[in-house]
């Protein structure tokens, strides 16, 4: 390395000379010769003896010779007296050759015209040719050293970059072997004496779902940690909009708004507000009961599948916002800025107050022939797709989650009617519809291609709905698993495919991923998705090596939730004006009050209140602190009258509808990363056996002896009286007393301490005593709440027994 460094220094000095195209002249004198040069464009050279002379050019079109590497040679003299060298330039600088002269005296020397120096020497120097050869040899050696060094560095850098690619691949393979594509974790806000007292993929809200019903298209969804094809990442606070891939254009990530369902003509034909409300309730009743004989609700209640999509992109220089949100964005100026912020937050354990940071990894995706790494940036988005396959509420079955139920103290019925519920789709249609939980049941079974696969195959990758790609990698055409010899359009999402010939295991059907049960893959032609390629199948053809190169740009997806769009998104019986300026309705200190001075001035995408408040009874169901809609507001109509209306955006449950009840609108259907984990599979199997011992009795090695599962007295359910304080908004809390606690409270004056369930992001610690006026324990008195006489959010100091 030292040799190379030294050689580089010498080589640079020689390069200076070679670029100047001027002679290096070495003279050895016994006396000072007189040298005169007459070139056509010769530089003016002045020598100063007793030291290395400087050379100066003076010419009209020639470069300067002294200390200017593009034109100036270094002239070294070893005289006993200073030679005088004079040049007479004209207009062009000729090239000069290297000449070495050896004198015993100073002979006259003359150069003419071309820049060739003619030297007459009394004693010829046999070392002249040898010196030239030495210099040429040195130059060749240095050039070889530099070439070898460059090749060494190129090989080293390529090897290091290649190793980093393999390290990333190792991490992804490790994650793939430990689970599948799905959601892993939501942000935790709690702890307790049991591991399940902290949050998992759910808390009291599945994947942190919540409501922003005052927005026209915003779907409330918080932060979560997810895995797609082995890539572990964390999202920002999502709050995505109802949009779909563009139907007629293939531009990268181009979307369009999903059309809202029309209002039934039978509603619009009614002449009074009361009649329209009554007719609209009939449609919701028909949907809730799944009975189209009441009203044919099917054209006006449309399901959409919202999905999580991720990919390695080529957008490594500029930070690209993954998708539009009316409320959140990635709070960083570049990918580096984002990575530094998220590293700092992870190091300190802190969180961004607005939840606008996300962890999105960067990787080396390839290496060029010159050894330069090619980077790729992971990014994701959440978009939706209008479902065209037949879908009914009986096709959804609640997935039992003991950790979530224990956390919230839910029985199965309460859990099924909560915001914490996660659902699965019946592979071939469900049955036994239960309107109480607005879901059905189906017999668990093994299957390959079901309803979820049909829906996901409707969804395009980055080429949007116009995309069509066939996959013929390794000479094998991928086919649809549910059709006979029909080509699979890999521009759509699929998790299985088949070949027209068997594999080594004798099967024709293959799964996307080695063991991932829930990963959907699509291919794209868009260059903004990083390319993976492989060259193989090489054969000699006429002495030439001919190979096949296969390339692919892939994206990955999982389903998130099914949302039912309803006529409420369009129904505007007061004909309220829609403002294009989102903030316009609230300008001039308008707060949604019920006077002309404080009522909102029309509606907008941010103030989307158009539903008559009389359509519902009561406020939002199970309000969460993240929910933003008000239960009722005043809005000015086109005549300046104040109309009492409520939010018309996307909800999880509607408020209570008289004669109908609350109606579920959002059905989370996301898979879990742990679904692909062997330990989790065994735990779920044990859960199924223990939850229904009679059904799975044959699975026991020793059948359990349980005389009476109800021998232990049931807990008594109480409800802490509702508060209407805002914030945090209208809500109540539940709590349960054991039989021992009920006996204790029966002793007049005995205080019993309990914790309520979590609601609106908080819970309370209560001290309870018996109410002397209700010896039947129908009502209890709250002696203290969180150590104070009353709760901070103004709950009445009473709790009622839930009968």
Dihedral sign (CA 33, 39, 43, 44): positive
Distances (CA, A) of 21 to 12, 68, 93: 15, 12, 10
Average pLDDT, the chain: 83
On the 0-12 / 13-18 / 19+ scale of CB atoms within 10 A, 702 is: exposed
Reported confidence tier of residue 618, pLDDT bands at 50, 70, 90 = confident
Percent composition of the chain: helix, strand, coil (DSSP 3-state, to 5): 20, 25, 50
* DSSP code for 785: E
Phi, psi angles (nearest 5°) of residue 663: -120, 125
Residue with token string 């063991």: 515
What pLDDT is attached to residue 34?
41
What pLDDT is attached to residue 211?
93
Task: Name the residue among 128, 124, 129, 87 with its Cα closest to residue 107.
Answer: 124
Peptide bond preceding 248 in cis form (omega within 30 of 0)? no
Phi, psi angles (nearest 5°) of residue 100: -115, 125
Task: Name the residue among 441, 456, 450, 440 with its Cα closest to residue 664.
Answer: 440
What pLDDT is attached to residue 621?
66
Residue with token string 């996301």: 670
Peptide bond preceding 518 in cis form (omega within 30 of 0)? no
Peptide bond preceding 728 in cis form (omega within 30 of 0)? yes
Buried-exposed string 672-696: b where 16+ CB fall within 10 A, e elsewhere: bbbbbeeebeeebeeeebeeeeeee
Task: Name the residue among 513, 462, 472 with its Cα closest to residue 492.
Answer: 462
Tokens of 211: 């409501």
Considering only 44-53, 187-196, 351-360, 520-529, which range has the smallest mean pLDDT?
44-53
What pLDDT is attached to residue 756?
87
* pTM beyond 0.85: no
Task: Name the residue among 467, 319, 457, 294 with its Cα closest to residue 388.
Answer: 457
Reported confidence tier of residue 126, pLDDT bands at 50, 70, 90 = low
CA distance 311 to 319: 15
Reported confidence tier of residue 62, pLDDT bands at 50, 70, 90 = very low
Please give the residue that has the higher pLDDT: either 623 or 740.
Answer: 740
CA distance 67 to 79: 22
Q: What is the largest CA-CA distance in the chain?
A: 138
Give me the mean pLDDT over the 716-720 stretch.
92
Tokens of 172: 């992804």
* DSSP code for 548: E
What pLDDT is attached to residue 706?
66
Q: How many CB atoms are closer than 10 A to CB 788?
A: 8
Q: How many CB atoms are closer than 10 A to CB 554?
A: 19
Strand partners, 321: none
Distances (CA, A) of 404 to 362, 415, 503: 34, 9, 42
Considering only 142-146, 266-270, 704-708, 751-755, which range has the smallest mean pLDDT?
704-708
Distances (CA, A) of 184 to 202, 383, 419: 9, 20, 18
What pLDDT is attached to residue 558?
98
What's the per-residue H, E or C state across 615-671?
A: HCCCCCCCCCCCCCCCCCEEEECCCCCEEEEEECCCCCECCCECCCECCECEEECCC
Tokens of 261: 């369902």
Please give the residue that has the higher pLDDT: either 456 or 140.
Answer: 456
Q: What percentage of residues in the chain have a pLDDT greater than 70? A: 83
Half-sphere exposure of 1 (CA within 13 A, CB side): 2
The residue length of the chain stands at 803
With H, G, I as helix, E, B as strand and everything else as coil, classify residue 171.
helix
Please give the residue that has the higher pLDDT: either 757 or 82.
Answer: 757
CA distance 700 to 270: 62
Residue 31: pLDDT over 60: no
Tell me the per-residue pLDDT of 431-462, one tens digit each, with 9 for 90 and over: 889 988 899 988 888 888 999 999 999 999 99
Residue with token string 């859960």: 687
Q: What percentage of residues in the chain have a pLDDT greater than 90? A: 53
* DSSP code for 657: B
What pLDDT is attached to residue 129?
77
Q: How many CB atoms are closer than 10 A to CB 55?
A: 24
Q: How many CB atoms are closer than 10 A to CB 725?
A: 13
Give me the mean pLDDT over the 403-431 stretch.
91
Distances (CA, A) of 508 to 454, 478, 479, 500: 20, 10, 10, 7
Q: How many CB atoms are closer than 10 A to CB 545?
A: 8
Dihedral sign (CA 716, 722, 723, 727): positive
Residue 711: pLDDT over 80: no
Residue 403: pLDDT over 60: yes
Reported confidence tier of residue 708, pLDDT bands at 50, 70, 90 = low
Give me the mean pLDDT over the 283-312 stretch.
97
Please give the residue that has the higher pLDDT: either 95 or 349.
Answer: 349
What pLDDT is attached to residue 162?
86
What pLDDT is attached to residue 744?
85
Considering only 4-8, 105-109, 397-401, which range has the smallest mean pLDDT?
105-109
Cβ atoms of 578 and 547 within 8 Å: the answer is: no
């Amino acid at each position: 390395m030292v040799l190379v460094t030294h050689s580089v220094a010498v080589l640079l000095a020689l390069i200076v000379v070679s670029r100047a195209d001027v002679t290096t002249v070495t003279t050895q004198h016994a006396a000072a010769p007189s040298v005169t040069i007459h070139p056509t464009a010769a530089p003016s050279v002045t020598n100063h003896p007793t030291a290395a002379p400087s050379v100066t050019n003076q010419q009209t079109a020639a470069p300067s010779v002294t200390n200017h590497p593009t034109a100036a040679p270094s002239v070294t003299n070893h005289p006993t007296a200073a030679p005088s060298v004079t040049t007479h330039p004209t207009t062009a600088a000729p090239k000069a050759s290297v000449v070495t002269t050896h004198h015993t005296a100073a002979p006259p020397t003359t150069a003419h015209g071309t820049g060739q120096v003619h030297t007459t020497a009394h004693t010829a120097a046999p070392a002249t040719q040898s010196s030239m050869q030495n210099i040429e040899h040195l130059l060749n050696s240095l050039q070889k050293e530099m070439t070898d060094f460059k090749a060494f560095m190129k090989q080293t850098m390529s090897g290091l970059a290649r190793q980093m690619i393999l390290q990333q691949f190792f991490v992804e393979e490790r994650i793939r072997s430990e689970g599948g594509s799905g959601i892993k974790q939501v942000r935790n806000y709690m702890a307790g004496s049991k591991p399940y007292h902290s949050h998992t993929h759910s808390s009291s809200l599945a994947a942190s779902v919540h409501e922003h019903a005052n927005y026209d298209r915003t779907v409330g969804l918080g932060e979560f940690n997810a895995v797609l094809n082995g890539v572990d990442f964390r999202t920002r606070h999502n709050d995505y909009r109802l949009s779909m891939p563009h139907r007629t254009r293939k531009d990268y990530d181009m979307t369009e708004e999903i059309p809202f369902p029309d209002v039934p003509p039978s509603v619009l034909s009614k002449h009074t507000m009361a009649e329209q409300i009554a007719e609209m309730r009939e449609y919701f009743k028909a949907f809730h009961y799944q009975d189209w004989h009441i009203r044919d609700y099917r054209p006006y209640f449309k399901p959409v599948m919202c999905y999580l999509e991720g990919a390695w992109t080529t957008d490594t220089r500029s930070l690209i916002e993954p998708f539009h949100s009316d409320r959140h964005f990635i709070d960083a100026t570049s990918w580096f800025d984002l990575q530094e912020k998220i590293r700092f937050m992870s190091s300190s354990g802190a969180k961004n107050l607005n939840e606008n940071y996300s962890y999105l990894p960067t990787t080396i995706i390839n290496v060029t022939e010159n050894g330069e790494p090619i980077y790729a940036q992971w990014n994701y988005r959440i978009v939706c797709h209008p479902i065209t396959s037949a879908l009914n509420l009986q096709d959804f079955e609640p997935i039992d989650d003991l950790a979530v139920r224990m956390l919230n103290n839910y029985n199965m019925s309460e859990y099924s009617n909560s915001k914490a519920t996660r659902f699965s789709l019946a592979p071939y249609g469900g049955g036994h519809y239960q309107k109480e939980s607005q879901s059905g049941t189906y017999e668990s079974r093994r299957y390959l291609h079901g309803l979820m696969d049909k829906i996901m195959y409707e969804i395009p990758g980055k080429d949007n709905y116009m995309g069509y790609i066939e996959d013929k990698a390794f000479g094998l055409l991928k086919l649809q698993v549910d059709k006979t010899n029909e080509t699979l359009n890999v521009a759509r999402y699929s998790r299985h495919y088949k070949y027209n010939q068997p594999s080594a295991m004798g099967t024709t059907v293959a799964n996307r991923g080695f063991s991932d049960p829930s990963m959907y893959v699509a291919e794209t032609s868009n260059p903004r998705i990083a390319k993976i390629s492989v060259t193989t199948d090489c054969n000699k053809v006429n002495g030439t090596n001919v190979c096949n190169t296969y390339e692919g740009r892939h994206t990955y997806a999982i389903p998130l939730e099914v949302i039912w769009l309803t006529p409420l998104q369009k129904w505007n019986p007061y004909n309220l004006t829609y403002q294009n300026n989102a903030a316009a309705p609230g300008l001039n200190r308008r707060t949604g009050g019920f006077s002309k001075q404080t009522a909102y001035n029309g509606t907008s995408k941010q103030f989307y209140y158009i539903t008559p408040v009389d359509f519902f009874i009561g406020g939002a169901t199970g309000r969460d602190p993240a929910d933003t809609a008000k239960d009722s507001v005043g809005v000015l109509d086109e005549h300046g009258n104040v109309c009492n209306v409520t939010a018309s955006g996307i909800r999880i449950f509607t408020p209570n509808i008289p004669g109908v009840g609350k109606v579920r609108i959002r059905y989370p259907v996301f898979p879990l990363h742990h679904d692909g984990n062997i330990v989790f599979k065994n735990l779920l199997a044990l859960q199924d056996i223990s939850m229904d011992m009679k059904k799975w009795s044959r699975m026991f090695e020793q059948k359990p002896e349980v005389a009476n599962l109800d021998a232990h007295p049931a807990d008594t359910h109480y409800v802490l009286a509702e508060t209407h304080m805002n914030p945090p908004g209208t809500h109540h809390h539940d709590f349960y007393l054991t039989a021992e606690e009920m006996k204790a409270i029966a002793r007049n004056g005995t205080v019993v301490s309990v914790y309520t369930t979590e609601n609106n992001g908080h819970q309370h610690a209560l001290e309870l005593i018996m109410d002397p006026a209700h010896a039947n324990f129908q009502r209890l008195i709250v002696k203290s709440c969180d150590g104070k006489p009353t709760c901070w959010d103004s709950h009445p100091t009473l709790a009622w027994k839930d009968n």
